[in-house]
Amino acid sequence: MSGKKNVDLLVGAQWGDEGKGKVVDMLGSDVDVFVRFQGGANAGHTVISDGQKVVFHLLPSGMLYSGKLCVLGNGLVIDPEQFLAETNELFQRGQDKARLAVSPHAHVVMPYHRMLDKLQEEARGKGRKIGTTGRGIGPCYVDKYSRSGLRIEDLIDPDVLRERLTYILEEKNQIFTKLYNQKPLPFDEVYEPARKWGEAIAPYVDDIRAILRKAVDEGQHVLLEGAQAALLDIDHGTYPYVTSSSTSAAGAFTGTGLAPNDLTRVIAVVKAYTTRVGEGAFPTEDFEEAGEKLRANGGEFGATTGRPRRCGWLDIPALKYSMELNGADVIALTKLDVLTGMGGIKVCVAYEKDGEKISTWPTDYRVLDNLKPVYETLPGWDDDITNCKTFEELPANAQSYVKYIEEKLKTPVMLIGVGADRNQTINRGM
């Protein structure tokens, strides 16, 4: 029974959109089970294979492979409409339903969560907005922790759904009418679609903890795919400008029921520069030409909301923090090609604030604002690298940049992205 464990955990190391989807897809041929364990349809994971582009919001990025199991863990918040739209699209492409398993304990994002997300953002007003994706993520996790949530298992039992939704909606309608001056939601308008979603999702529901336990014990290759990233973590990120789940490595255990010692490797996905969508501190953001150029060259527009991403340089203290938090064993460095033709490449190695030098990532939000980055500038390169297949084929300055990152973060860079396609990846032994 007990083969050698083979469980990879892949996490974003910055503020999301590092290219996690591409890396999962690229590693996928060797994977047996793909798992999402936290977050919801706020994620946008892009996979480009043979010129075909697919953006996954809820489903694991391994869904394009045939015959492999894809799991949605209990830590997720699942918007049933989004789930059904995404699965239907894939089934129309010929994917097999049988290999998708959904935890009965995942929470359901209801329409009132999406409404509350928007109303709360509006109420926060200028200067306090988080810049959420509007997907109802925060309000759904609030309900989970206040024990007023609906789980997938509630959705698929019409009687339980009716009973729980009755009192949940009463409370929500008090909030809508009294706090936000909105009309109340009629029960049937919420219940009837929810009941139908339950019917449609029921065939996928399974004991994912037991399935994963068996897969791990048999030595199957399990790939846990994080959404968002360490600096958006509810506990360890730039609170309150974070998402509402545990996005760093620890979330993989609560979000699946696997144990910490099941893990064999943590892969941190690091973009070769930095981007952020939404509000919050971003010390290395570049408001000048370089930021514009990174956005244009990197196609830095949100995969979920289409918003332009804020762009800037690599931030070493932030990444050191992220490596520690995640226990990163290896780095997948993405979008190195975007730095081609950028001239000198700036890297932040410390910060200054009020004349004081700070060399570690400050977790105090009062310190985080208005940090002045201290940069080192590395020489750039102009040669196109999008067809490079080996590290040695990269221009010397690109190689030096990779080595610099490895030295600063004391973590080996095992994959290097040189283009958006699955094949545009230099594999240094993963």
Q: Check residue 242 for interaction with Mg ion (CB under 5 A).
A: no
Q: Check residue 131 for interaction with ligand IMO (CB under 6 A).
A: yes
CA distance 221 to 3: 11
Please report how close the Cβ of residue 422 comes to ligand GDP at its closest, in angstroms: 10
CA separation, residue 105 to residues 129, 196, 354 (Å): 30, 18, 48
Please report how close the Cβ of residue 42 comes to ligand IMO at its closest, in angstroms: 4
Which of Mg ion, ligand IMO, ligand GDP, none is residue 137 near (CB under 5 to 8 Å by kind)? ligand IMO
Query: How many CB atoms are located within 10 Å of the residue 32 CB?
Result: 17
Q: Check residue 75 for interaction with ligand IMO (CB under 6 A).
A: no
Which of Mg ion, ligand IMO, ligand GDP, none is residue 335 near (CB under 5 to 8 Å by kind)? ligand GDP
Q: Check residue 45 for interaction with ligand IMO (CB under 6 A).
A: yes
Q: Check residue 44 for interaction with Mg ion (CB under 5 A).
A: yes
Write the interaction track for ligand IMO spanning residues 405-424; mark x where CB under 6 A is met and - where it is not: --------------------
Q: Check residue 291 for interaction with ligand IMO (CB under 6 A).
A: no
Please report how close the Cβ of residue 211 comes to ligand GDP at its closest, in angstroms: 24
Radius of gyration of the chain (CA): 22
Q: Check residue 130 for interaction with ligand IMO (CB under 6 A).
A: yes
CA distance 26 to 49: 9
Identify whether the C-beta of residue 80 lies closer than 8 Å to the C-beta of residue 89: no
Select from 74, 103, 243, 284 the one that contacts ligand IMO (CB under 6 A). Answer: 243
Q: Of 8, 17, 233, 262, which one is the catalytic site residue? A: 17
Q: Output the CA torsion 201→197→107→185 (10° steps).
A: 180
Q: Of 25, 45, 79, 262, which one is the catalytic site residue? A: 45
Q: Check residue 38 for interaction with ligand IMO (CB under 6 A).
A: no
17 is catalytic: yes
The tokens of 198 are what?
Answer: 């339950």
CA distance 392 to 383: 14
Q: Which of residues 316-345 bind ligand IMO (CB under 6 A)?
A: none
Which of ligand IMO, Mg ion, ligand GDP, none is residue 278 near (CB under 5 to 8 Å by kind)? ligand IMO
Identify whether the C-beta of residue 229 lies closer than 8 Å to the C-beta of residue 276: no
CA distance 284 to 255: 32
**Residues at the interface with ligand GDP (CB under 6 A):** 12, 16-22, 44-46, 48, 299, 303, 334-335, 337-338, 417-420
| Placement of tokens 């953001």 in the chain | 285
Identify whether the C-beta of residue 182 lies closer than 8 Å to the C-beta of residue 119: yes
| Placement of tokens 């750039």 in the chain | 380
Query: Cα angle at 258 between 197 and 9, to 5 degrees?
Result: 90
Report the catalytic residues. Answer: 17, 45
Residues lying near ligand IMO in the complex (CB under 6 A) are found at 12, 15-17, 42-45, 130-133, 135, 137-138, 227-229, 232, 243-244, 277-278, 303
